[in-house]
């Protein structure tokens, strides 16, 4: 008997050792042979005959654009006079665009702008470049180093609200188009420029109406590029190069209302449990039981794989073996609030309302939970999970209202087999030759949420290189962009439009593919 067990154990140990050796071998082989997803197209150089410099005139147009105080405060509450002035300024500033027989301009929803630039080959599906005209309000005005609507230039930086979000893409794309049309060139493929006027308050009067107009025209757009993630330094551990993050999806949103009704009464003779107590426990349960870690199921895993070959060894090993290390990487990611937002549907307790007198037990308590839904989950799953976690019939859970729930966006094509991702990657690497390009998703939302019906390839990327410190200035104090960075924005759009004259197909660049 004992000998039997001993023999069994010895065989089991050998099998285990063999399996471990096999796993280790796979890990090593994958680490060594993992394919590179990066390309090195011809770089855009200052000496190119068609390089567009940020000269005095272009700079003046940009700083003037910053001076329009096109603030959106809340849904339907904006700055109509400023918008009207800004729209007029744009018309005056780009005479070739506005005078060209190839360009049709529609004012949509009173202030939003939709340009159609007719391509010479009508058989090609159009594409669309999107931005928005509005900005968020000013905060802490006293702490700005230059007045927030001045567009003042200091030490090579242009200061002002909207320099990054997102008048640089709006003006940059118009500069590129003005330059192109002035040189007498007609694009092969029709392109749209779409500028909503209330993106900062959900785009229901701007982008939503633009989308309706295009859907009525029966347009099918081959791809849409809107503002989004940028080129950042020091984003990943183990990567020394800047990384251009192209968002191929956006998280969804769900605001859940928790409500408890219980016996009220005088504070001198409380019942065992109050509405406040019941709700507080329910809310705390949600905080203590996060939604499942989804790392490895969505685009966030590609984000690491596409830069794997550029990482230092331990990170390279992890990123090229997510089949094994996903749980570990997901756990590591979830240790910071920023990383956690990529790993799962987040749960934020944002409001708690109950009671109005010191000595009266409130018969009612309400709380709001703000969930941002991971691209691989649905709002229904999130609500169901919350119900299970709370597991208390006295707590009534509901979607707060229809405007606070929308699903994660569909995931746009990316990778080596996607020609639209490829043209974007090529353009990015022409303008930012040091940068690695990788897909991700956005934790925040853009106007593209209204464009899902128009295109299955929607990318959110702003062609500007930002330090992590400068990223914090967006929607904050001292928002700014360097003149050099703005120059790159203009040339990025120019190259993108030029690249779109070539056939959209997948070009392989000679690296070894696959495993």
Ligand X SMILES: *[C@@H]1O[C@H](CO)[C@@H](O)[C@H](O)[C@H]1NC(C)=O
| 85 vs 281 by CB, closer to ligand X | 85
| Of residues 17-46, those binding Zn ion (CB under 5 A) | none
CB of 219 to ligand X, least distance (A): 12
Is 200 annotated to bind a ligand? Reply is yes
| Of residues 294-313, those binding ligand X (CB under 6 A) | none
Gyration radius (Cα) of the chain, Å: 26
| 453 vs 467 by CB, closer to ligand X | 453
Q: For residue 469, what are its two tokens?
A: 């410190």
Query: Counting contacts by CB under 6 A, is residue 453 touching ligand X?
Result: yes
Given 134, 175, 366, 447, which residue is catalytic?
134
Query: Counting contacts by CB under 6 A, is residue 325 touching ligand X?
Result: no
Separation of alpha carbons 473 and 164, rounded Å: 9
CB of 220 to ligand X, least distance (A): 12
Which residue lies nearest Zn ion, judged by its C-beta? Answer: 165
Among Zn ion, ligand X, none, residue 165 binds (CB under 5-8 Å by kind) = Zn ion
Given 82, 175, 198, 199, which residue is catalytic?
199
| 119 vs 375 by CB, closer to ligand X | 375
CB of 223 to ligand X, least distance (A): 18
Query: Counting contacts by CB under 6 A, is residue 78 touching ligand X?
Result: no
Q: Is 300 annotated as catalytic? A: no
b/e per residue, 161-186, with b = 16+ CB within 10 A?
bbbbbbbbbbbbbbbbbbbbbeeeee
Binding pattern for the stretch 99-118 against ligand X, x by CB under 6 A and - elsewhere: ----------xx--------
Residue 480 to residues 73, 398, 431, Cα–Cα distance (Å): 21, 41, 20
CB of 431 to Zn ion, least distance (A): 20
Query: Counting contacts by CB under 6 A, is residue 120 touching ligand X?
Result: no
| 165 vs 366 by CB, closer to Zn ion | 165
Query: Counting contacts by CB under 6 A, is residue 205 touching ligand X?
Result: yes
Decide: 200 and 124 in contact? Cβ < 8 Å: no
Q: For residue 326, what are its two tokens?
A: 């996903």
| 37 vs 195 by CB, closer to ligand X | 195
Binding pattern for the stretch 208-237 against Zn ion, x by CB under 5 A and - elsewhere: -------------------x----------
Query: Counting contacts by CB under 6 A, is residue 202 touching ligand X?
Result: no
Continuous segment of H or E residues that includes residue 494: helix 483-499
| 100 vs 448 by CB, closer to ligand X | 448
Q: For residue 316, what are its two tokens?
A: 């390279």
**Could you give the angle at the alpha carbon of 471 between the alpha carbons of 460 and 448, nearest 5°?**
20
Separation of alpha carbons 158 and 155, rounded Å: 9
CB of 140 to Zn ion, least distance (A): 20
| Total of residues contacting ligand X (CB under 6 A) | 7
| Of residues 236-255, those binding ligand X (CB under 6 A) | none
Residue 239 to residues 37, 316, 436, Cα–Cα distance (Å): 14, 9, 9
Q: Is 199 annotated as catalytic? A: yes
Quickly tell me which residue has 């094509």 as its tokens: 413
CA torsion sign for 450, 452, 453, 457 is positive
Is 371 annotated to bind a ligand? Reply is no
Is 475 annotated to bind a ligand? Reply is yes
Which residues 6+ apart lie within 8 Å of 91 measured at CB?
Answer: 98
Query: Counting contacts by CB under 5 A, is residue 166 touching Zn ion?
Result: yes
Q: For residue 214, what are its two tokens?
A: 């295009």
Q: For residue 310, what are its two tokens?
A: 């550029």
Torsion of CA 203, 205, 211, 216, to 10 degrees: 170
CB atoms inside a 10 Å sphere around CB 140? 10
CB atoms inside a 10 Å sphere around CB 233? 16
Query: 15, 93, 92: which is closest to 61 by C-alpha?
Result: 93
Query: Counting contacts by CB under 6 A, is residue 450 touching ligand X?
Result: yes
Residue 270 to residues 278, 309, 362, 392, Cα–Cα distance (Å): 14, 64, 11, 21
Query: Counting contacts by CB under 5 A, is residue 165 touching Zn ion?
Result: yes
Q: Which are the catalytic amino acids?
A: 134, 199
Residue ranges that bind Zn ion, judged by CB under 5 A:
165-166, 227
Residue ranges that bind ligand X, judged by CB under 6 A:
109-110, 205, 211, 215, 450, 453
* Residue list for the binding site: 132, 165, 200, 227, 475
* Residue list for the binding site for Zn(2+): 132, 165, 200, 227, 475
């Amino acid at each position: 008997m004992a000998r039997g067990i001993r023999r069994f154990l010895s065989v089991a140990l050998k099998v285990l050792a063999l399996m471990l050796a096999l796993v280790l071998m796979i890990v090593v082989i994958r680490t060594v042979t993992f394919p590179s997803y990066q390309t090195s197209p011809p770089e855009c150089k200052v000496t190119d005959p068609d390089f567009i410099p940020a000269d005095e005139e272009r700079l003046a147009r940009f700083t003037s654009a910053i001076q329009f105080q096109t603030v959106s405060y809340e849904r339907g509450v904006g700055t109509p006079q400023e918008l009207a002035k800004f729209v007029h300024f744009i018309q005056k500033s780009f005479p070739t665009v506005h005078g060209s027989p190839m360009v049709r301009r529609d004012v949509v929803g009173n202030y939003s702008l939709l340009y159609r630039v007719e391509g010479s080959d009508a058989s090609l599906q159009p594409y669309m470049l999107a931005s928005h005209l509005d900005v968020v309000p000013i905060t802490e005005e006293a702490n700005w180093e230059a007045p927030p609507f001045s567009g003042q230039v200091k030490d090579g930086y242009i200061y002002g609200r909207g320099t990054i979000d997102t008048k640089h893409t709006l003006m940059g794309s118009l500069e590129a188009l003005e330059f192109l049309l002035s040189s007498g060139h007609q694009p092969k493929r029709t392109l749209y420029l779409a500028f909503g006027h209330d993106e900062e308050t959900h785009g229901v009067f701007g982008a939503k109406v633009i989308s309706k107009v295009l859907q009525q025209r029966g347009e099918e757009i081959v791809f849409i590029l809107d503002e989004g993630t940028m080129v950042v330094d020091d984003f990943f551990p183990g990567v020394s190069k800047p990384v251009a993050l192209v968002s191929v999806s956006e998280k969804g949103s769900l605001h859940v209302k928790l409500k408890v009704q219980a016996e009220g009464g005088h504070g001198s003779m409380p019942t065992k449990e109050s509405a406040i107590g019941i709700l507080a426990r329910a809310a705390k349960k949600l905080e203590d039981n996060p939604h499942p870690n989804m790392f490895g199921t969505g685009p966030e895993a590609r984000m690491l794989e596409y830069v794997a070959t550029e990482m230092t060894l331990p990170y390279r090993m992890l990123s090229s073996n997510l089949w094994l290390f996903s749980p570990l990487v997901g756990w590591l990611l979830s240790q910071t609030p920023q990383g956690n937002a990529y790993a799962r549907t987040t749960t934020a307790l944002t409001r708690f309302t109950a009671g109005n007198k010191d000595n009266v037990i409130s018969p009612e308590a309400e709380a709001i939970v703000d969930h941002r839904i991971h691209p691989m989950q649905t709002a229904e799953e999130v609500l169901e999970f919350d119900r299970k976690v709370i597991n208390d019939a006295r707590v009534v859970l509901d979607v707060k209202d229809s405007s606070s729930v929308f699903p994660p966006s569909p995931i746009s094509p990316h990778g080596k087999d996607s020609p639209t991702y490829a043209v974007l990657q090529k353009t990015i690497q022409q303008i930012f030759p040091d940068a690695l390009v990788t897909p991700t998703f956005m934790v925040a939302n853009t106007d593209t949420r209204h464009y899902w019906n128009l295109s299955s390839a929607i990318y959110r990327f702003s062609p500007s290189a930002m330090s992590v410190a400068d990223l914090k200035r967006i929607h904050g104090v001292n928002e700014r962009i360097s003149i050099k960075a703005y120059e790159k924005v203009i040339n990025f759009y120019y190259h993108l439009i030029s690249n779109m004259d070539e056939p959209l197909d997948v070009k392989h660049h000679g690296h070894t593919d696959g495993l």
